[in-house]
């Protein structure tokens, strides 16, 4: 192992790290973002709520497949639902989810621009 030149710096960084359980939970949230279908669903409801049938129509998928992915998104607290009679409408849980999507998109656009230079 290499001798560190600034042990105080390493100690500051180590103590600033969130607890392991928080890091685990954060990693689990990002795992949910690791599926293209789930990202498509979140983008579909970015501007407003939709029911399963509408999301299935937009994405040209079965309602069963959409429902399965929505369950995962709800369990991760990235999507919320609202019942109106027999129909359940889905929307992003809060603005933070929209911000994550936006920041990720901006990052990719910047990387693409750098690659073109």
**Considering the entire predicted model, what is its pTM?**
0.86
Sequential pLDDT tens for the chain (117 residues): 556 678 889 999 999 999 999 999 999 999 999 999 999 999 999 999 999 999 999 999 999 999 999 999 999 999 999 999 999 999 999 999 999 999 999 999 999 988 876
pLDDT of 84 = 97
Distance of CA 52 to the CA centre of its chain: 19
pLDDT of 75 = 96
* All domains of the chain in start order, with CATH: 18-116 (1.10.10.10)
């Amino acid at each position: 192992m290499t001798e560190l030149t600034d042990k105080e710096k390493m100690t500051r960084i180590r103590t600033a790290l969130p607890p392991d359980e928080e890091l685990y939970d954060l990693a689990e949230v990002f795992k949910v973002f690791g599926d293209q279908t789930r990202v498509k669903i979140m983008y579909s409801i970015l501007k407003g709520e939709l029911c399963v049938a509408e999301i299935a129509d937009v994405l040209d998928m079965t309602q069963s497949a959409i429902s399965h992915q929505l369950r995962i998104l709800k369990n991760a607290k990235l999507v919320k639902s609202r019942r109106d009679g027999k129909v359940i409408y889905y929307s992003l849980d809060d603005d933070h989810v929209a911000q994550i999507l936006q920041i990720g998109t901006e990052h990719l656009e910047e990387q693409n621009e750098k690659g073109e230079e």
